[in-house]
Structure 1
């Protein structure tokens, strides 16, 4: 009998049963997001009340902070439980978690991707050091983000005298993936996508759990026309293919072959960022680079380092990576974090996180929400709102050096940068150097055990993590240590007799 796996989005969604565990693929800004199928699920639920009570899991943040991505699932009754690596792209889902309308969990993005691989291999789960000493450690919250969350998804184990976390396997009933091309047999090519992320691992998890795999693509092709090297998900594990001729590379980009890695083109010249607090922080962080370093950037001010590298023509001096599986090229920022033009390599997400977990990174430039005297950092839960770390934990815990980049405080700060000095006219209303972080996303003590280097770069000062705690090592020109730093912190850092001045050149356009 001739196979034909092409069907409408509505028919594919009819295959999803109430109470199913559903793995979703995608990244912020529309990266690899099967939007057409997501919309069909939302539409059917609002019209019929089904499917309902879904248990949804996703490794990366998915959405646009408005209506797309996980926002399509943010309806009371549609989802019962959400396990997400990153939540900020869906404010509506964050509200459901805050109000205990769903069971909310956060696991590191890399661990989720690698867990799919373990599920697909019928192994008991993922055993890893990633997450020890943080909020996913069961000695803390075990990844539970609200009172409604009761499941024990992570267990502390001892193997050969080493403490590890066991991220437990579970059956996946449905995985929804995306590609560029598909034939009637269900062979899926990702040739015109911006990344591979966890497409294959998640599909395998559903298939080998006895579940179904739904794939959305832009273009249907004839059988036997896809080169074998182009097929990243074989038809043997795909059950339904939905064609969306309007599928875009991102919400804003229709198609760009330099982003899909098909071609290399001239790297667009990045304009030098206008002098300001963010630019100063990025400039100081940039000084931590060494030639041929393997590096990673987090979303936020850390992206400013990538802009500096591009604007100065330094792309070939370092090995730039992002957790989506991309190496090299010119990294896009903001809504398009996770995209890159003219990349040198694209690998699968689980393999990229293997590289990170094994200590392959020399330097990571990451943001921070809060940091305390022990060097513990929080980016995952702020003001009671579920944020999630994305790949932050997998990266920060394992990089040889982590440079946390961020403003000294936030909300309402008035800061002037003039004549090579900084003037804090009004401090921010919200302190970020706090007595104790709301949630531990990065464990300072764990970093010290591993002899990893960590420093905090702000516009006013630089701190380094030591066995004795945070040490104030550099102060910006024009800053009064007592008034602008110590009086704006909830703890007293260690201070050498003569802190070094930050380079005045950082504060000049």
Structure 2
């Protein structure tokens, strides 16, 4: 299992039956592939789909059916196509139970930075600001470091996506829960030690007495 697969599997465990969930582009979009149909979860894309399925099998791609990042997707029975105004009304109105976003940095206060000036690091903010502010739960799915530098930092140096504190950060090394007191190391990835996590993390982490290993099934 590679790092992205591990992260997607762990994030999927946060999703509960009947939820309306928005998945960001890239790594977060992989989460849909780990949520079974029996959960009756509806994934939403801000470009106007409620009821996204996983990636299509080879030969079954529909070029008119994409997520917000233009990735080819499927639709589950009961899916709906809506216009952008309705899609953002769901987001801004607080009707999305959870959003899963990628991240460039998360700091000790639990602040997320996941965009920068177009052409410099990633494209513009897209719907991230609306999602990060409007969704009931905000989960960040990202790799722990980039080019050798930790993405869990003391203070974000990039523009913040929202003033709110994120609810959970999942990386290939750990699950971290931001709290008012700081970042709590909640779980270790399989085979990863606390010492390895601390060595890869710039920010200070609060260490509970017991730090269980992630369950990924």
The bucket for the TM-score relative to the shorter chain is 0.7 to 0.9
Relative CO higher for 1 or 2, CA cutoff 8 Å, sep ≥ 6?
A: 2
Give 1:339 deviation, angstroms.
5.6
Give 1:435 deviation, angstroms.
2.2
Give 1:333 deviation, angstroms.
6.2
Give 1:477 deviation, angstroms.
2.9
Distance 2:135 2:68 in 1: 23
Distance 2:87 2:115 in 1: 22
Unaligned runs of 5+ in 2: 55-65
Post-superposition Cα deviations, 1:267-303, rounded to whole Å, max 9, x if no partner, equal: xxxxxxxx21111111100000111001110011111
Post-superposition Cα deviations, 1:390-411, rounded to whole Å, max 9, x if no partner, equal: 1111011111111111111133
Is the contact made by 1:389 and 1:441 (CA closer than 8 Å) also made in structure 2? no
Alignment partner, residue 496 of structure 1: 208
Give 1:335 deviation, angstroms.
6.2
Q: Secondary structure at the match of 1:336?
A: coil
Post-superposition Cα deviations, 1:217-253, rounded to whole Å, max 9, x if no partner, equal: xxxxxxxxxxxxxxxxxxxxxxxxxxxxxxxxxxxxx
Give 1:492 deviation, angstroms.
0.9
Give 1:318 deviation, angstroms.
0.9
Give 1:367 deviation, angstroms.
0.7
Alignment partner, residue 438 of structure 1: 157
Alignment partner, residue 410 of structure 1: 146
Q: Is 1:473 paired with 2:207?
A: no
Distance 1:286 1:329 in 2: 15
Post-superposition Cα deviations, 1:321-356, rounded to whole Å, max 9, x if no partner, equal: 110111114255696337654672122212211211
Post-superposition Cα deviations, 1:422-480, rounded to whole Å, max 9, x if no partner, equal: xxxxxxx132112222223334xx425xxxx6100111110112111211111123222
Is the contact made by 1:322 and 1:338 (CA closer than 8 Å) also made in structure 2? no
Is the contact made by 1:326 and 1:340 (CA closer than 8 Å) also made in structure 2? no
Is the contact made by 2:45 and 2:52 (CA closer than 8 Å) also made in structure 1? no
Is the contact made by 1:460 and 1:475 (CA closer than 8 Å) also made in structure 2? yes
Distance 1:348 1:338 in 2: 18
Alignment partner, residue 91 of structure 2: 356
Is the contact made by 2:16 and 2:39 (CA closer than 8 Å) also made in structure 1? no
Q: How does 1:175-194 map to 2 (within 5 A)?
A: none
Q: Is 1:318 paired with 2:41?
A: yes
Post-superposition Cα deviations, 1:176-215, rounded to whole Å, max 9, x if no partner, equal: xxxxxxxxxxxxxxxxxxxxxxxxxxxxxxxxxxxxxxxx
Distance 2:179 2:127 in 1: 24
Distance 2:185 2:87 in 1: 34
Alignment partner, residue 51 of structure 2: 328
Q: Is 1:379 paired with 2:105?
A: no
Question: If the length of structure 2 is used for normalisation, what is the TM-score?
Answer: 0.83
Distance change >3 Å, CA 476–CA 315, structure 1 → 2: same
Which one of the candidate residues 126, 139, 148 is aligned to 1:390? 126
Q: Is 1:447 paired with 2:164?
A: yes
Post-superposition Cα deviations, 1:88-112, rounded to whole Å, max 9, x if no partner, equal: xxxxxxxxxxxxxxxxxxxxxxxxx
Q: Secondary structure at the match of 1:407?
A: coil
Q: Higher Cα Rg: structure 1 or 2? A: 1
Distance change >3 Å, CA 316–CA 435, structure 1 → 2: closer
Q: Secondary structure at the match of 1:328?
A: strand
Alignment partner, residue 141 of structure 1: none
Question: If the length of structure 1 is used for normalisation, what is the TM-score?
Answer: 0.37
